[in-house]
Structure 1
Amino acid sequence: MPTGSRNDQSPETRLHLSRLGLIESSSGLVYALPSDYPPGHFIDTHCHSRAQLLYPRTGVVLVTSTLGRWMVPAEHALWIPPQIDHSVEMLGEVHMLSIYVLPDALPNMAETVRVVALTDLTRALMVEAVALPQNSASEGRAGLVMHLLLDEVATLPELPLGLPFPSDPRLSSLCRRFIESPSPHLVIDDWAESLAMSRRAFTRAFRRETGVSLSLWRQQACLLNAMPRLAAGEQVTSVALDLGYDSVAAFTTMFKRMLGTPPKQYFQRTAG
């Protein structure tokens, strides 16, 4: 449950705390809520007994836990399993839709936090869900909307916008320093040498701790740094050069490989 906030007395925080109580006392399979937050608003570490699908329709949301950091651009969503302690920071003005799901309603869903791509149908169903009376009967039109929404959520594809953190303190320290100044030129041998490990032992340890290779993790870290800046309208050239890419083309190639489309087209699509 909540432990406070940087904005303890703000109306948004008081509303968030009261809504958490309603969510916990709800008996329905799905509890859906809209929320509006000003730029920079911060919700301190909390958890809930239900899973949450967090969907920012505008702005960018940064979710942090001991397991990692997940950046959620507009028109994407974050799946947060039950009982995961996490904090939420709003990058820009955020209009958010959230659905809170009883664990038994989706027993086969991932038990890890993950960013997912939304379909047009899922977006439409979430808009409809927040407009319905909460705790309404599970039959009739409301029941059809909620059950179809659950079916859609179970099929959403994961996107590489998370940044898992190793639990090993030495690896975690290296990762935290890197995200303060990410670069595409990270050298595995340098990290391995700093921990007095062979390259092979280091790469095995890193994958065991994070579930991904250091190369993929580096790209995710660069993407995590770039996305809020691009979403705010900063030029691709400026972002690419600040991150240390040798050319805009190299940055665009990485972006397209990770998200399936070049930056300009990507943000035109999510703005539409």
Structure 2
Amino acid sequence: MRNIPLDEVDHVERAVLPIGTDYPPGHLLDWHEHRRAQFLYGATGVMVVDTADGSWTVPPERAVLIPAATRHRVRMLGVSTRSLYVEPDAVPWWPASCTVVEVSPLLRELLAVAVGFEAGYSLSGREGAVATLILHEIDAGSPLPFHLRVPASADLARLCHAYLAAPDAGATNAAWAARVAMSERAFTRRFRAETGDSPAVWRRRARLLAAVPLLRQRSVTEVSGRAGYASPAAFTAAFTRSFGMPPSRFAGPANRS
């Protein structure tokens, strides 16, 4: 199925409903939720998935597992998706919170095949076997660390969401503390308790995540400056340390050497 709303087929009695969708650049799927669990794979482009408690950046050819009934929004940055909508009782192993995962070459090919199925595809023979194998491949996928936790308290969450919308390398703990009328020490202690990271570490990771879509259009040198690093080498080292792979892995075709 291609470019059809889930609501039109959600009633179909299939554990796995594959739907491929092409989105215009910069498209925002505003806050919504699904009855089913969702496997959201970007065959092209970068996706940013937000929930009340976190933000997940999904690089090209990776996917995010979204639990059933999780309210979320998705920013599509040049994305063509291959989504699976899965009955929750078919995947008791599904993670309890959103998780970015690696997508194997086999799973990519299976997804490309599955989006050609009709909603009421045959459960016997090839189509049913593909749907079953897809779930086994998803279960075997490795999680990736493209995630930021957002504080539960409203005032700190507002700070974080504003920063995610416009990351600023010049932001300081003192300035953030002043915005929520706290001392810097008390603010830092509270922020760490709610996110597991200091504010400075959180902001640095936010800038590195924001670099992922930028790398599709700009060179590592350009992106490193925007992320607040003094040199491409320093940026590359920090990016690799955080995500286990260099920024060059995410470069667009025009920026690959």
For 1:68-147, what aligned pairs fall within 5 Å after superposition?
68-92=54-78, 94-147=79-132
Q: 2:229 aligns with which of 245, 253, 257?
A: 245
Contact 2:47 2:59 in 1 (8 A): yes
Q: Is the 8 A contact 1:24 1:48 kept in 2?
A: no
Structure 1 vs Structure 2 CA RMSD: 2.8
Q: Is the 8 A contact 1:219 1:254 kept in 2?
A: no
Matches within 5 A, 1:1-272: 19-92=5-78, 94-182=79-167, 196=182, 199=185, 205-210=190-195, 214=199, 216-231=201-216, 233-267=217-251
Quote the sequence identity (%).
39
Looking at structure 2, the residues matched to 26 and 160 of structure 1 have their Cα atoms a distance apart, in angstroms, of 34
Gaps of 5+ in 2: none
Change (3 A) 1:211 1:32: farther
1:226 and 1:135 map into 2 onto residues whose CA distance is: 41
- The whole-number CA distance in structure 2 between the counterparts of 1:101 and 1:81 is 10
Alpha-carbon separation, structure 1, partners of 2:115 and 2:160: 38
- State the TM-score, normalizing by the size of structure 2: 0.84
Residue 141 of structure 1: SS of its match in structure 2? helix
Superposition deviation, residue 243 in structure 1: 2.0
**Change over 3 Å in CA distance of 1:207–1:150 after alignment to 2:** farther
Q: Call closer, same or farther: CA 1:212–1:134 in 2, change over 3 Å.
A: farther
> 2-side partners of 1:121 and 1:212: how far apart?
36
Query: How many angstroms apart in 1 are the aligned matches of 2:93 and 2:44?
Result: 29
In structure 2, the partner of 1:3 is none
Distance 1:244 1:219, change over 3 A: closer
| Higher-helix-fraction structure | 1
Structure 1 residues without counterparts, runs of 5 or longer: 1-11
Residues 181 and 49 (structure 1 numbering): CA distance in 2 closer, same or farther, change over 3 Å?
Answer: closer
For residues 262 and 77 of structure 1, the distance between their equivalents in structure 2, rounded to whole angstroms, comes to 19
Distance 1:245 1:101, change over 3 A: same
Change in 2 beyond 3 A, CA 1:211/1:188: same
Q: CA deviation at 1:35?
A: 0.8
Are the structure 2 counterparts of residues 39 and 175 from structure 1 closer, same or farther at C-alpha, using a change threshold of 3 Å?
same
Q: Secondary structure of the residue that 1:25 maps to in structure 2?
A: coil
Whole-Å Cα distance in 2 between the matches of residues 37 and 230 of structure 1?
20
Partner secondary structure for residue 10 of structure 2: helix
2-structure distance, mates of 1:188, 1:47: 34
Structure 1 pair 61–180 and aligned structure 2 pair: CA distance change class (3 A): closer
8 Å CA contact retained: 1:183, 1:245: no
What SS is found at the alignment partner of 2:115? helix
Q: 1:168 to 1:184 in 2, by over 3 A?
A: same
CA positional deviation for 1:132 = 2.6
Matched residue of 2:167: which SS? coil
Shift of 1:162: 2.3
For the 8 Å contact 2:28–2:74, the answer to whether it is kept is yes
